[in-house]
Amino acid sequence: MLFSSVTFLYVFLPIVLLLYFLVPKRLKNHVLLLSSLVFYFFGEPVYTLLLLFSSLSDYAHSLLIEKHRGTKKAKLALISSVAINLAMLGFFKYADFFIETVNTLFNSSLPLTKVPLPIGISFFTFQTMSYTIDVYRGRAHAEKSLLTLATYVCLFPQLIAGPIVRYTDISAQLHERESTLDGLYLGVRRFVFGLAKKVLIANAMGELCAIFRDSADKSVGFYWVYAIAFTLQIYFDFSGYSDMAIGLGGIFGFRFPENFNYPFISRSITEFWRRWHMTLGGWFRDYLYIPLGGNRVSKARWYLNIAIVWAATGLWHGAAWNFVIWGLLFGILLILEKEKLLEGLKRAGRILPHVYVMLIVIISFVIFNADGLQGVKEDLAGLFGAAGLPGWSTETGYYLKSYAVLLALAIIGSTPLPKMLWTRFAERPLGSKLAAVFEPLSVAALMALVTAYLVDGSFNPFLYFRF
């Protein structure tokens, strides 16, 4: 079930909210768990059992870890828990990738499993692993209530596309939280703005990308239009979903961590990854990079640690070699920045570092969205004029002109400028009075506009569902 669907917005969510606010406090987690299972069942009926198994497995393992804390049995329980989560992720997401790689290397013909990928498995397995690891490290107490832990694992606002919410982020809120009118309004506002980012901007950029892919009149210029459009699409798609998840969490009294902080204003790749998908970066730092030794090792081992983390980051996004290349590209650049490049960027002013970051990011997302290694080769050749294509075409000009306003709005909207201008306006005496009236009206107008688009349109995928 998509957040950006009429069924979710006008059937599922109103029923859940009605039940949630009618039942007494002791039953609120029951409503959330039941509705989350219905939400997941709507899209993945069979794999709902996998979600329940994951909850039960990590519940049992965490109790064992806490019971035998400081002993070999606790360590074995942790290893078992992590192994089960990785086995699930490995089988459903990477089995066919491994088989295809073996077939290519050894010219064999091993049959593929062709098992469908459970939606959101990369997110909920990472969340449950962080839970048992934190219990083992003593940063969290094992949850005594299976229902409460299952509510955490299955919580529908962030279940299938993040942000990655650690148990320690919301453990207190799972037991005691308040839903206030202010929280309800702020949650609705955040949700609607995220929904608008997804439906009005990301979907439009996705349409432009689809037009490019279907075009028989490609040019170098069209490749760059596509590259910019896809970069904007994935940002507004994923940050829009994160906004919706954070907003929904706020409605139910939860405070989820932020996931994006205007990454396109960055002036280094290091800064970019502190602003993009922040919960994933934090997860890999705390549960992979630091345990590997981080930077407290020899330089050669440090390089290897970064390579492992970024290869894993690439593979987390998708079971294909173009994702590995995408991840390693950032790993190499981060090493270069940590050595000398970052110092040079700091001395290069404001514009040049920003151009460097955006050029790398745009090219990287062309690699990210390519169809395997051959697709990477073809797309990069088209991007840099090595595919025998003309520099420009009539079709390129037509679609650039058709989408120029949306592209401009998307670029401006990806910066802090709109928020900064609104804040300055609302801080003034007259502005605050006008904002008190205009803001709720704008939220209602956006919701009406989004609904009209959803009723009329058909292009409405979430890119990160495949992860």
Note whether 258 and 238 are same-domain residues: yes
Is 208 domain-assigned? yes
What pLDDT score was predicted for residue 356? 93
Q: Are residues 82 and 160 in the same domain?
A: yes
Residue 322 lies in a domain: no
Domain around 382 = 183-267+350-466
Q: Among residues 68, 110, 103, 62, which one has the least CA distance to residue 82?
A: 62
Does residue 148 share a domain with residue 33? yes
- The answer as to whether 315 is a domain residue is no
Q: Is there a single domain that holds both residue 197 and residue 158? A: no
Residue with the two structure tokens 């502190």: 274
Each residue's pLDDT expressed in tens, for the chain with a length of 467 residues? 788 888 999 999 999 999 999 999 999 999 999 999 999 998 888 899 999 999 999 999 999 999 999 899 999 999 999 999 999 999 999 999 999 999 988 889 899 998 988 988 999 999 999 999 999 999 999 999 999 999 999 999 988 887 999 999 999 999 999 888 888 999 999 999 999 999 999 999 999 999 999 998 899 999 999 999 999 999 999 999 999 999 999 999 999 999 999 999 999 999 999 999 999 999 999 999 999 999 899 989 999 999 999 999 999 998 999 999 999 999 999 998 888 777 777 777 888 999 999 999 999 999 999 998 999 999 999 999 998 899 999 999 999 999 999 999 999 999 999 999 988 888 888 888 888 888 899 999 999 999 998 887 666 566 655 55
Instruction: Report the pLDDT value the prediction gives residue 387, as an integer from 0 to 100.
Output: 86
167 and 78 in a single domain? The answer is yes
Amino acid letter, residue 181 = L
Catalytic site positions: 317
The tally of CA atoms less than 13 A away on the side-chain side of residue 87 is 10
On whether both 74 and 198 belong to a single domain, the answer is no
- Residues 170 and 57 placed together within one structural domain of the fold: yes
pLDDT of residue 328: 95
Are both 201 and 245 inside the same structural domain?
yes
pLDDT recorded at residue 465: 55
Write down which residue in 135, 158, 177 finishes a domain. 177
pLDDT at position 445: 93
Q: Are residues 76 and 62 in the same domain?
A: yes
- The domain total for the chain is 2
Of the candidates 240, 244, 317, the residue with the CA atom closest to the CA atom of residue 281 = 317
How far apart, in whole angstroms, are the C-alpha atoms of residue 232 and residue 29? 36
Q: Could you say which of 155, 177, 199 is where a domain stops?
A: 177
Per-residue confidence (pLDDT) for residue 193, from 0 to 100: 95
Considering 150, 177, 204, which residue would you say is the last residue of a domain? 177
314 is a domain residue: no
- pTM for the model: 0.92
In a domain, 319, yes or no: no
Query: Residue 294 falls within a domain, yes or no?
Result: no
Q: What is the pLDDT of residue 317?
A: 92
Residue 340 backbone phi and psi in degrees, to 5: -140, -30
Is the residue at 215 inside a domain? yes
- Two structure tokens written together for 333: 């650049």
- Co-location of 147 and 200 in the same domain: no
CA-wise closest residue to 159 among 2, 301, 270: 2
CB neighbours of 381 closer than 8 A, spacing ≥ 6? 387
Residues 187 and 173 in one domain: no
User: Is residue 45 located within the same domain as residue 156?
Assistant: yes
In a domain, 341, yes or no: no
